[in-house]
Amino acid sequence: MGKSKSQPGKLYYTIGEVAEMFNESTSLIRFWEKEFDIIRPQKNKKGNRLFTRKDVDHFHLIYHLVKEKGYTLKGARQKLKEDKPNTDAEFEAVKTLKNIKAFLRDIRKELEE
């Protein structure tokens, strides 16, 4: 799964950092940027993409839909276009449940030691 290893105080992330967060290639990040209009990186004078925390969150949502739930790119685009608030809420619920699961596994591991 794509686990975000971002730094909380950081304002911008390079394409390499974003790709590393999701264990994907930079070409996939570029492709998703072109396919999904919710991702709007800024570019510096050299033309390098600089992604905000919001962009990274959007990548996480797209990753969830495409890689974890099995949506096609077209299906994911349509879901985000037609029902973004519910999609966001569902994704947040899934993230929370995964965090709780990891927490409970850690407790179980400690109890077994």
Both tokens of 39, joined, read 């991702």
pLDDT band at 1 (very low <50, low <70, confident <90, very high): very low
Q: What is the 3-state secondary structure (H, E, C) of the chain?
A: CCCCCCCCCCCCEEHHHHHHHCCCCHHHHHHHHHHCCCCCCEECCCCCEEECHHHHHHHHHHHHHHHHCCCCHHHHHHHHHHHHHHHHHHHHHHHHHHHHHHHHHHHHHHHHC
pLDDT of 4 above 90: no
Average pLDDT rounded to a whole number, residues 99-113:
92
Name the pLDDT band for 113 (thresholds 50, 70, 90). confident
Q: What pLDDT digit, counting tens, does each position of 30-51 carry?
A: 999 999 989 999 988 998 999 9
Structural tokens at position 24: 């994907």
Q: Is 13-112 CATH 1.10.1660.10?
A: yes
pLDDT of 83 higher than 90:
no
| Beta-bridge mates of residue 13 | 51
Is-above-0.85 flag for pTM?
no
Q: How many Å separate Cα 7 from the centre of its chain?
A: 14
Backbone phi, then psi, for 66, in 5-degree steps?
A: -80, -50
